[in-house]
Structure 1
């Protein structure tokens, strides 16, 4: 008999707002799903209505049917798949096509989401730095900027452009339509006729989901900045909406944030900023295009720093003292919709000296060396000896079917047994699952999970690769890590 997970069968939090009741002369809690105004339950993202919160019934259904199972890697920490699953549950029902669901679960899209999170983590810090500097220059005691300050800003802009290059590289792997992504390509092979309407709908839906994923990962802050920059990256400024919430940057601030390669042409010949950065890659930045594909060997400290930040899995980011939003944080600090549960944070007793997840500390920009650009041009690149292979947990066909039938599952649970009546629900579950599974099947599942989570020993296996001259291969990693090396 299956073990019943009580923690997945009851609501975790109550979402709503407090108001004063004049008749009762007391505070009254009004839940979000009972509010009259729909804008407090939904939010608009590129013209699509995403849920802002969940009611208790929806929360129980989500945790029971759609949450990442406990047999996957690092179930006690927040990873990209957790945020993606939450956004898939919050997105409108017109997104629930098999083609889009299959696309969003592709490894190439997972790598694009990963690079976007790294980019926006640094971009939001740069925007904050720009706004603070704007206020400093606008006051009466403003100081004239020195040449060292301008050089530091150029270095900051170069660092931001390097993260943008990673996004551009991963995005080009998707739009090229090669390998597993060939079935999503908009042009048919023989007749070369483009399905513009279908491709546009797929692009709009993917862009809206990416905005939601990055926004939730960034602690749900600076939504309009994320939306504006995401649309600029993938569309260009010709197609940006004119919203009052968007920040207007000066030409100097634009050159700092958007980089030196960003040019505005006529909309007929305009290409996206991502492609513009790939067209003008400096010689010392060329190894960036191989990050995540092969191990970097060289003396450029900046390339090694970006590679370390990119290939280290989310649950191990605190070991290198790096913050990527909520990735790698313990799940016990967050509720179902991945918002911080402040009572749990207080019980964790974090402080400025003991804060591995940057919950108390403020993420900041590291002041670079003034001669960093000159030193990087003198760096050397050696022949690579290791290729990096990724381990990606694919979504099972059963889970894809659940996402396709999300609306039917919601209706079925709401029309059937009450999810909030715990006693009746457990009685029904015991009656349905009695005698279905045998002990041998339970033991086999347990052995499979323990074998999957067990660390692999270092082993040297003869390699048949002609490219490396028939050398041996050295595998070293925990089997659940995102990357391991192969010579």
Structure 2
């Protein structure tokens, strides 16, 4: 230790990084000679709101030209089809800046998130289709009697919806647990050893959920926004915590007949106390119902043989969009020819034999009320039938994994650079 200097201050000096005496505090202070540990801090330029978030859907012609030049995915051939990346690009371009963050953009460009988005588009599209079917069937009950075929058909609807929710749940569970490529987004760090950043985690998933609703709405042809929003909020948060329903007060579940609730909500609905409530997605995972175990590994585990039904799910959720077109399958507008849509993925009116322009959908894009079009924008969803349950299981579980569908690194970088410029202007 060295002598005290003339001006006071430290009464002792540090040597080899041990204890020093501080005259101001009259206490021993330990000073380490190791470099300081860098603590990761989460910085957001603006606090992302978790309430009502409005996207811009009235993009003018000048902005469309700017989007087409700078941000639209470049068409590589004549038979280019609409991809999930195209839908994400529109959602990111029209999203308010205060919900965007580098973490959200990174999460949207992960193979796990892409499978999650495609699964929820299929689930919501089929849910809307069966909801309309059940409405018609309930009206027909006023004039006709129920037959055994009614029970068989409605059981098929219920099983299909449950399996589709299971497809969404398996990817959502991976994201919650920080598995596979989502480790760095876990609120306790990649190794799950840091202090829990619960507020950061809640805001990330709230903005992801709102972005998911917008992507599903765009992929399904800009129709039934309220119904999509209510259903997605319900399956992720349950009826108790469905804040959209608490705001709108539609009472749509109470207005359903018991047979409609059985089909649309499924057999795994549980009404527990608030502290013990799990979301319907988690209930689908832990529900005691007959389910093909291979459903929970589609797109990840490479099975030697799968049924036609499972192959359909794998094709829709985990395969490139060009294969959808080759198999004559569409996921809403995903998988359809790109040249039939304009810059903002609205259908281009087609000329009829009499020379008049005819669009496959109505011109209005209102979310509250959209008239039913005579010509559907995309074909209905047809889920292959279930095969008899297998009794002989393989001796070993497959250890070979599927090659993930590649995510566009070019588009990923474009949106990160755009966000950086937008934040720099504020």
Q: TM-score, normalised by structure 1?
A: 0.64
Separation in structure 2 between the aligned mates of residue 360 and residue 83 of structure 1, nearest angstrom:
19
1:341 and 2:341 matched: no
1:267 and 2:274 matched: yes
1:123 and 2:127 matched: yes
The size of the alignment, in residue pairs, is 353
Task: State the partner residue of 2:287.
Answer: 280
Greater alpha carbon shift after TM alignment, 155-164 vs 204-213? 155-164
**How many angstroms does 1:406 deviate by?**
5.4
1:58 and 2:72 matched: no
Q: Which has the higher strand share?
A: 1
**How many angstroms does 1:99 deviate by?**
1.7
**Higher Rg:** 2
One of 392, 411, 414 as aligned partner of 2:406: 392
Kept after mapping to 2: 8 A contact 1:298/1:381: no
Structure 2, unaligned stretches of length 5 or more?
Answer: 1-48, 359-373
Alignment of 1:297-316 (within 5 A): 297-298=304-305, 300-316=307-323
Kept after mapping to 2: 8 A contact 1:315/1:329: no
**How many angstroms does 1:197 deviate by?**
1.9
Alignment of 1:233-252 (within 5 A): 233-240=235-242, 241-242=245-246, 243-244=248-249, 247-248=252-253, 249-252=256-259
| Alpha-carbon spacing, 1:338–1:232, altered in 2? closer, same or farther (3 Å) | same
Give CA-to-partner distance per residue, 1:120-152, whole Å, 9 cap, x none. 221111111111112222x4xx22211221122
Give CA-to-partner distance per residue, 1:417-458, whole Å, 9 cap, x none. xxxxxxxxxxxxxxxxxxxxxxxxxxxxxxxxxxxxxxxxxx
| Alpha-carbon spacing, 1:45–1:136, altered in 2? closer, same or farther (3 Å) | farther
Structure 1, unaligned stretches of length 5 or more?
Answer: 1-43, 351-357, 413-487
1:332 and 2:339 matched: yes
Task: State the partner residue of 1:407.
Answer: 422
Task: State the partner residue of 1:96.
Answer: 100
Kept after mapping to 1: 8 A contact 2:299/2:318: yes
**How many angstroms does 1:289 deviate by?**
1.1
Give CA-to-partner distance per residue, 1:30-79, whole Å, 9 cap, x none. xxxxxxxxxxxxxx9950121022012221221122111346x9983210
Kept after mapping to 2: 8 A contact 1:96/1:403: no
- Classify the secondary structure of the residue corresponding to 1:48: coil
**How many angstroms does 1:261 deviate by?**
1.1
Give CA-to-partner distance per residue, 1:282-325, whole Å, 9 cap, x none. 46511111211234445744334433444443233243332311
Kept after mapping to 1: 8 A contact 2:50/2:206: no
Give CA-to-partner distance per residue, 1:207-242, whole Å, 9 cap, x none. 110000000100111111110110011111111223
| Alpha-carbon spacing, 1:274–1:102, altered in 2? closer, same or farther (3 Å) | same
Kept after mapping to 2: 8 A contact 1:78/1:329: yes
Kept after mapping to 1: 8 A contact 2:268/2:283: yes
Kept after mapping to 2: 8 A contact 1:300/1:379: no
Kept after mapping to 1: 8 A contact 2:178/2:185: yes
Separation in structure 2 between the aligned mates of residue 163 and residue 293 of structure 1, nearest angstrom:
16
Task: State the partner residue of 2:177.
Answer: 176
- Classify the secondary structure of the residue corresponding to 1:289: helix
